Amino acid sequence: MKLPVQVLQWVISSVDSRATIEDIHRLPGSTSSDVYSVSLGIQGEIREYVLRRFTNRSWLEEEPDLAKHEAESLRIASKTRTNTPAIIAYDETGDICGISSVLMTKVEGEVDLLPGIKMDDWIDELAKTLAAIHTVEAAEFAWNYFSYNDIKTINIPKWSSQPLLWKKLLEIVRGQRPETKLCFIHRDYHPTNVLWKNGKISGVVDWVNACRGPAGIDVGHCRLNLARLYGIASADAFLTAYQSYGGSDFTYDPFWDLVSLVDGGPPEVYAGWPVFGVNDLTNDVIVERTDQFLISLMNRF
């Protein structure tokens, strides 16, 4: 894998001037930026790092501080009871690397979308790990939650078979937001951002969107992904498990699930799923499961 010489020099100088590049390869599943595994040799020892290069120009135009954001997110994430990458260095402007970049340590483990352990145990691990992340208040964190889409301008989607429920959904999410405790949230917590080893979660990655916000946003986003991947039962099992770990600090409100529904684009097979072995889904299946999720949520009101 070829990377510009100045990037390799930056990596080496950021870690150890005595280091040599032993291997570089693109990591599978990255959809919003180029992510590389970098192996460095340092006095006979091999150390593993991850280099993210923010190649999505439109994303950078909207959020020019992405590299700094991820670096600071990783610093806060280190306070959680979760294994996360450690920040090594970042080039916010791209003056050194040509493109805004972040260098971090590599976390052991693999994405596991076809769990070899019992599904209930797999879901329980997901919930327990997220609840641990949410124990960090992060009152000093500079990035705060915001909706990716302008809720005021969203229309009833043509792909859905439930236009009346969508009309009601939009009325709800355009209303007053429920009061809720704020905490450190990952903001993109779903199965392809979680690494596993020996049947246990070994780490959580992709912290570039982390912020201070409602825990329900993380719960809702993960529930939506689980509903699309496996069905409503898995999404509900995750909620039950999370509630058991969140305790009195968490009060479930389906409002945040609804916000998660309107916060993305049209439902489709996420590009990362086939990369990790899920090849039996179609866009039609995802649309159907999304509507089923909507129905289940509206039944809670």
State the pLDDT confidence band at 41, using cuts at 50, 70 and 90: very high
3-state SS, residue 261: helix
Task: Report pLDDT digits (tens) over 86-103.
Answer: 999 999 999 999 999 999
> b or e along 95-124 (b: 16 or more beta carbons within 10 Å of the residue's beta carbon)?
ebbebbbbbbbbbebebbbeeeeeeeebbb
For residue 52, the cross-strand partners are: 35, 102
Please provide the average confidence, as pLDDT, over all residues in the chain.
Answer: 96
Among the residue ranges 42-51, 111-120, 279-288, the one predicted with the least confidence is 111-120
Beta strands in 175-279 (DSSP E): 182-185, 194-197, 200-204, 211-214
On the question of pLDDT at 1 being above 70, the answer is: no
CA distance 241 to 128: 7
Task: Report pLDDT digits (tens) over 275-288.
Answer: 999 999 999 999 99
CB-count exposure of residue 155 (10 Å: 0-12, 13-18, 19+): exposed
On the question of pLDDT at 8 being above 70, the answer is: yes
What DSSP state is assigned to residue 216?
H
3-state SS, residue 274: helix
Residue linked to tokens 């236009």: 163
Task: Report pLDDT digits (tens) over 186-205.
Answer: 999 999 999 999 999 999 99
On the question of pLDDT at 54 being above 90, the answer is: yes
State the pLDDT confidence band at 117, using cuts at 50, 70 and 90: confident
On the question of pLDDT at 32 being above 90, the answer is: no
CA distance 245 to 234: 17
Supply the pTM of this predicted model. 0.95
- Average pLDDT of the residues in 207-232: 98
What DSSP state is assigned to residue 191?
G
Nearest by Cα to 53 from 17, 86, 8, 18: 8
Contact 185, 134 (CB under 8 A): yes
Task: Report pLDDT digits (tens) over 226-256.
Answer: 999 999 999 999 999 999 999 888 999 999 9
**Distances in whole angstroms, Cα of residue 298 to Cα of each of 174, 222, 245, 294:** 15, 18, 25, 6
Q: Which domains does the chain have, with CATH numbers?
A: 5-105 (3.30.200.20), 119-298 (3.90.1200.10)
